[in-house]
Structure 1
Amino acid sequence: MPKKVDHEARRREIAEALQRIASTRGLDGVSLRDVAAEADISLGRLQHYFRTKDEMLLFALRHINALAERRIRERIGALPASPGHEPPPRAVLRECLVGMLPLDEKSRVGALVGAAYFARAVHDERLRTEAREGIPQLAALFTELLRNAQERGELPAGRALDPRTEAMLLISLVDGLTAYTLLGVHTGEEALERLDAHLERIFGSSD
């Protein structure tokens, strides 16, 4: 009997080869042939799974995002909570935001792949549509957490705050912090400090 090929596993192996290239020399000018060599397969074999570099980048980005989401869910699951209650919205929101920053090698590589994909998406409507799809869901999650915090009285009294606007500002903040971390404008630790400073402006001191 011929051995059954796990095509999804093979795609993940190719995505991981792309990630290794991103972590060592970036993705500028990287070709399908380069990734095939890194994955130790022929170019024809790679093109059986990905016809173009854009297809490969998209799969790699989705794979990385799925892994990041799993790590964030694990971090949220480890948050302290009283019996029968979920963790406070601020704590959940912070874990989500921290998980989006390039603070270790895995998240740094994910950010590099994302930057390469988004740079191509600016000039390609199909890729741009794909790149935008996740933003409304993320904004909805953050909006719900902020609204929940309002209802629980966890925001400073007497302060008018629009959860939807604040959610989009948080997404924009993390995008900017990510870009500046990758560029070396600040360190990951400084990015985290600035994120916490902004959360303190929204929620007040956590002391």
Structure 2
Amino acid sequence: MPRQVDHEGRRLVIAEAVCRLADERGLEGVTLRDVAALAQVSMGAVQRCFRTKEEMLVFALGHIGERIGERVRARLVRSPAQSAATALGHAATEVSLLRDEHRAEARVWLAFVAQAAVSEVLAKTLKENYAALQDVFTRLISEAGEDADGATAPLDPRLEARTLLALADGLTAHVLIGHLTPRAAREVLHAHLTHLWERPGRS
């Protein structure tokens, strides 16, 4: 009998190879030949999994986004008794990719963000990822506002969610280029979240 191939498992191995190469060289340094060599599969196997390089990059980006999303969900589920405001802080910290062990992931993520500026299909995947994270932030801000004094609840949870998501991405970039240390970035994030509940609410 012919050997059965774990198609999805192979796609994930290839996606990991794409991410490793993107971390080392940027996306412009990702070639089908090098991906195949790093994944220890033939070029034909790569082409059977992905019809084009662009399709392979889209899958790899989705893989990174899902990994980040899983960590966010894990932080929300781990302590169901935690307040919505605390859960928001945990989720924003995960999205910011400030931990040392996530530095390579941050480099790859920003490489994809840069490439998405000239790739509609990558931009579409990124927008879907950001929309999902924004929904999580919006829900947590709304729930935290309900728990807080009405005079301190944010006026517009969706706008605050967009602001927080943009701040998280900005902190990722500032840490990667050395403008901020991870500790300084965490202080910025903490200060923003603290001030969020100090803003005047509806009169």
Same fold (TM over 0.5): yes
Matches of 1:71 and 1:159, distance apart in 2:
27
| Residue number in structure 2 paired with 1:91 | 86
| Residue number in structure 2 paired with 1:84 | none
| Residue number in structure 1 paired with 2:178 | 184
- CA deviation digits over 1:73-122, x for unaligned, max 9? 222233372xxxxx211111111111112234553333333222222221
> Which segment is superposed worse, 182-191 or 9-18?
182-191
| Residue number in structure 2 paired with 1:54 | 54
- CA deviation digits over 1:143-167, x for unaligned, max 9? 2211111211257x35653211111
In structure 1, give the amino acid aligned to 2:40.
D
| Residue number in structure 1 paired with 2:119 | 124
Q: Is the 8 A contact 1:103 1:188 kept in 2?
A: yes
Sequence identity (%): 43
With over 3 angstroms needed to count, the CA separation of the structure-2 counterparts of 1:80 and 1:139, relative to structure 1, is closer
Where does the alignment leave 5 or more consecutive residues of structure 1 unmatched? 82-86
Matches of 1:149 and 1:111, distance apart in 2:
28
| Residue number in structure 1 paired with 2:201 | none
Matches of 2:64 and 2:121, distance apart in 1:
20
| Residue number in structure 2 paired with 1:42 | 42
- CA deviation digits over 1:149-194, x for unaligned, max 9? 1211257x35653211111100110111111122222122221111
| Residue number in structure 2 paired with 1:67 | 67
Aligned pair count reads 198
| Residue number in structure 2 paired with 1:149 | 144
| Residue number in structure 2 paired with 1:29 | 29
**The residue matched to 1:28 in structure 2 has which SS?**
helix
Q: Is the 8 A contact 2:171 2:185 kept in 1?
A: yes
Cα RMSD (Å): 2.2
**The residue matched to 2:79 in structure 1 has which SS?**
coil
**The residue matched to 2:44 in structure 1 has which SS?**
helix
Matches of 1:38 and 1:160, distance apart in 2:
48
> Which segment is superposed worse, 188-197 or 107-116?
107-116
How far is 1:41 from its partner?
Answer: 2.0
In structure 1, give the amino acid aligned to 2:163.
L
| Residue number in structure 2 paired with 1:17 | 17
**TM-score, normalization: structure 2?**
0.85
**The residue matched to 1:133 in structure 2 has which SS?**
helix
With over 3 angstroms needed to count, the CA separation of the structure-2 counterparts of 1:174 and 1:35, relative to structure 1, is same
